[in-house]
């Protein structure tokens, strides 16, 4: 089964028809055949951005269920230590906590396909194993 990491940007754009990235994100998310995997940090970040949209959080939960998205927790002390190290390493890019958890998850799974709008970040970020990310939404 194809596995793809899921970042915050496409989720937010998916639920906002006025977002300039809505159409490519909706097409990608609706047509993807495989397993989306994300982290609790991404869920929290997406909920923050969707809270002001009518029904946003509830619709997001329904999307997660319907798409069978797997959510992985990355908040154990050792995970946090590794995330902070990555955030420090990429402070000039910059990298936020949700991004760091996805980079850590990529190595844990050995999967580097990612659904993200953070092109600058995920074209720059490398996993601890030196792997590059494959952006599945790439308009540029």
pLDDT tens string 35-71: 999 999 999 999 999 999 888 999 999 999 999 999 9
Q: For the stretch 42-74, what's the b/e string if a residue is b when 16 or more beta carbons lie within 10 angstroms of its beta carbon?
A: bbebbeebbeeeeebeeebeebbeeeebeebeb
**Rounded Cα gap, residues 82 and 2, in angstroms:** 26
The CATH superfamily label for domain 3-135 reads 5'-nuclease (3.40.50.1010)
| Verdict on whether the full-model pTM lies above 0.85 | yes
**Rounded Cα gap, residues 115 and 112, in angstroms:** 10
Tokens at 116, concatenated: 């993200």
Beta strand 35-39 with 70-72: parallel, antiparallel or unpaired? Answer: parallel
pLDDT digits (tens, 9 = 90+) for 83-135: 999 999 999 999 999 999 999 999 999 999 999 999 999 999 998 889 999 99
Is pLDDT above 60 for 140?
no
Is pLDDT above 50 for 22?
yes
Is pLDDT above 80 for 138?
no
């Amino acid at each position: 089964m194809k596995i793809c990491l899921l970042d915050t940007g496409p989720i937010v754009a998916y639920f906002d028809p006025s977002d300039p990235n809505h159409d490519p994100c909706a097409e990608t998310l609706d047509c993807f055949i495989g397993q989306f995997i994300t982290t609790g940090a991404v869920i929290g970040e997406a909920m923050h951005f969707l809270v002001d949209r009518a029904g946003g959080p509830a619709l997001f939960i329904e999307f997660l269920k319907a798409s069978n998205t797997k959510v992985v927790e990355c908040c154990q002390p050792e995970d946090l230590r590794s995330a902070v190290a990555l955030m420090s390493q990429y402070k000039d890019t910059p990298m936020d906590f949700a991004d760091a958890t996805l980079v850590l998850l990529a190595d844990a799974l050995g999967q580097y396909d990612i659904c993200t709008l953070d092109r600058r970040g995920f074209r720059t970020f490398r996993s601890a194993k030196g792997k590059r990310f494959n952006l599945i939404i790439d308009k540029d």
